[in-house]
Structure 1
Amino acid sequence: MNMTVKVSLIMPAYNIESEIKRSIESVLKQTYTNIELIIVDDGSKDSTPNIIDQYAKYHANIIPIHRENGGVFSARIEGIFQSTGDYIGFIDGDDYIEPEMIEQLLKNAIEYNADISHCGYEMVFPNSKVDLYYGTGNRVLQNNEKGVIDLLEGKYIEPGLWNKLYRRELFEKVGLNELDYSIKINEDLLLNYYLFKESKRAIYEDQCYYHYMLRVNSAATSTINKNKLSDPVKVLKIMLEDNTQEDIYYELILARLTRQLIGLSTMSSRPDPKLIRPYKRKAQRELRSRLMSILKCKGCSSKVKIMAVWAAILPITYQTIHFLYGRLTGLDKKYSLD
């Protein structure tokens, strides 16, 4: 394959001394070689910065950035500003990619003249259990409207940034300086929403080239905090306010927000009652205030509407039934790390 197109890969890194070597090595082993790897050390306290600098010393295409801790969102954005590639991609410092991933994504982007090229992935649990998403080998071409809809419906498009290549110009259109860097959870969903809205065409190849590693102490699995409770709702409300009720995406976003509010309003308070209960009550109030809109929403299934009514009016009853159902069906352990 012609190597004239430059790809920038951005890797945020924070206290991952035991994982980052594998991640860097997977980039160095890519069959497509015109890659600059920008590693943003987000104020690590372990040996992560030293490992990054050692790799940069022997590999001219590795660009290290060391900064005070500011979170993964702003680390990625800083990497974008420092990048020089025609296409931009992301890899988390504790994950790794197949050798052909970048070549295949770029080949698809060029062949289909796509602004975004993305692929499937596998989720690897600490107990070595692996879930594939999905590995069928199918390709799906998405125009602007279908891309956003598939993102909102969770069909084909993983909300993460890490299994995709984006044409550089998309980030220039989004306006990175105007984003809310205080968002720590679902910030990738928000940025993808803006990027897919700006794209004319996306191509998805359902091959699992990306390995997403779930760690017990990672951001995805760490204990409950304010950001985990507030940010998912905040992100969806930003997206909702970006549309009028007549826009094609409005009801899909409202449906997603409804499901988020249901989950929050009925979650167990046991991990930290003082922290969780105010957010539960706020979610219940918002469900009640939006109930008429939810009942009229074509994007909400009948099941979701019934759940919303229960969660808004009889949250304790709903929570009890939901708990028992999860125990009986085993759904409460589906994503357990044990």
Structure 2
Amino acid sequence: MNDAKISIIVPVYNIEKYLEKSIESLINQTYKNIEIILIDDGSTDNSPQICDSLAKKDSRIKVIHQPNKGVSSARNAGIQIADGDYIGFCDGDDTADEDMFEFLYNIAVSDNADIAMCDVRIVFENGEVRDTTTGEHKIWNDKESFLADFLKGSVNMATYTKLFRADICSDVRFPENRKTNEDKFYCFSAALNAEKFSIKSEPKYTYFRRAGSSSITEFSEKYFDCVYLADKISEITKETHPTLSENADCNKLITVLRIYKLMYMRNGLNKFRSKADELVNYVKSFDRKIAKKYLSKKDLIRFFTLRTSKPLFFFMIKYFDKY
């Protein structure tokens, strides 16, 4: 059962308060044949020393220290030296359940999956726990059906819920010049090299949503990277899987709707007024028949509401669509 080796890549940047707990959750995995690759991305707190101390205690831990280049560069540095049969990811301020990688490995083996997936629970600072997992076990036996669901947004985009067979990732890297949605682009790129996919929707990873984290900070220009990468996904899809062109266009539409929503929620509309107008114009010009064909009910409501009236859209977000 433990014959295959799993490389777990952990980017580290100024997270001294949470790092030991996170790495302990990996050290204590029930699946033992792992290597834990810590990439210190130019931390200025005690994170580098903590990484080195942990490596002395467990020979399975490797540490890379590099100047600050961003999370994508850190992950890519880890991928470069990983020698496992499978690759997984964990953020250094989150935790994995002790059986997470055994759980994922068993899915990969039993379903012969190139990418095996679990789900995530979100813990807020006030103690609230959000868990929308379903317990569903789903297998995709072909690439196009998986990509269709992925582009629709019904597959979690995060790398930390997935185990990738290493050979499908040999030429896949995170986009280092982009600061958001790099996870989704990596998963999409890896999926292009895969043939079979499987998920068991059980929460095996804990994502801590803290004050000051990138998930709740004020809107900044970096979030437009989401639209840029959605454009890239659309371009690649039209080239490699033209039958999914409309799906990819709707993926961009979903992204635009969510970024505009984020601009409203995080005080970005006035600061980036011309960009906001550009996003609204994109929504208004989008083919309604294609939107109806591929969007989820929630995204379709956002689509028609924003086309109809910005004040109505803001009202809906404020009272009915906060998350």
* Equivalenced residues, count: 319
Q: Which residue of 1 aligns with 2:210?
A: 215
Q: Summarize deviations over 1:235-283 as a string: whole Å, max 9, x none.
A: 1110111133982322222123223324445643983566321321222
Alignment match, 1:319:
310
The question of 1:161 aligning with 2:159 is answered yes
3-state SS in 1 of match to 2:30:
coil
**Alpha-carbon distance between aligned partners in 1 of 2:246 and 2:20, rounded to the nearest angstrom:** 43
Match of 2:236 in 1: 242
> How does 1:82-93 map onto structure 2 within 5 Å?
82-93=81-92
CA contact (8 A) 1:265 1:281 kept: no
Classify 1:250/1:60 alpha carbon distance in 2 versus 1 (closer, same or farther; 3 Å). same
Q: 1:170 matched to which residue of 2?
A: 168
Residues 120, 135 of structure 1: 8 Å contact kept: no
Q: What is the Cα deviation at residue 61 of structure 1?
A: 0.8
Q: Which residue of 2 is the match for residue 259 of structure 1?
A: 254
Q: Residue by residue, what CA displacement relative to the aligned partner does 1:101-135 show, whole Å, maximum 9, x if unpaired?
A: 11121112112211111101111111111111305
CA distance in 1, matches of 2:112, 2:50: 37
Q: Retained in 2: the 8 A contact 1:32–1:100?
A: yes
Change (3 A) 1:278 1:77: same
Opposite residue 208 of structure 1, the aligned amino acid is P
In structure 1, stretches of 5+ residues that fail to align are none
Aligned equivalents of 1:301, 1:65: Cα separation in 2: 42
Q: Does 11-20 or 268-277 show the bigger shift? A: 268-277
Give the share of equivalent positions with the same residue, in percent: 29
Amino acid at match of 1:254: D
- Aligned-residue offset at 1:30: 0.6
Map 1:1-338; keep pairs closer than 5 Å: 2-136=1-135, 138-143=136-141, 144-155=143-154, 157-174=155-172, 176=173, 180-228=175-223, 230-244=224-238, 247-265=242-260, 267-268=263-264, 271=267, 275-288=271-284, 290-291=285-286, 293-297=287-291, 298-300=293-295, 308=303, 311=306, 318-329=309-320, 331-332=321-322, 335=323
Paired residue type of 1:72 = V
Unaligned runs of 5+ in 2: none
Do the aligned residues in 2 keep the contact of 1:140 with 1:204 (CA within 8 Å)? yes
- 1:253 and 1:133 mapped to 2: Cα distance? 25
Q: CA deviation at 1:164?
A: 0.9
Cα distance per residue 1:188-229 (max 9 Å; x no partner): 11111111222111111121111111111222222221111x
Using a 3 Å threshold, how does the CA distance of structure 1 residues 272 and 153 change in structure 2: closer, same or farther?
closer
For the 8 Å contact 1:117–1:164, the answer to whether it is kept is yes
Contact kept, 8 Å, 1:115 with 1:199, in 2: the verdict is: yes
TM-score (norm 2): 0.90
User: Which SS does the other structure have where 2:201 is aligned?
Assistant: strand
| 1:190/1:235 contact within 8 Å kept | yes
Q: Which one-letter code corresponds to 2:151 in the other structure?
A: L
Contact in 1 for aligned 2:306/2:313 (Cα 8 Å): no
SS at match of 1:242: helix
Higher mean Cα deviation, 195-204 or 275-284? 275-284
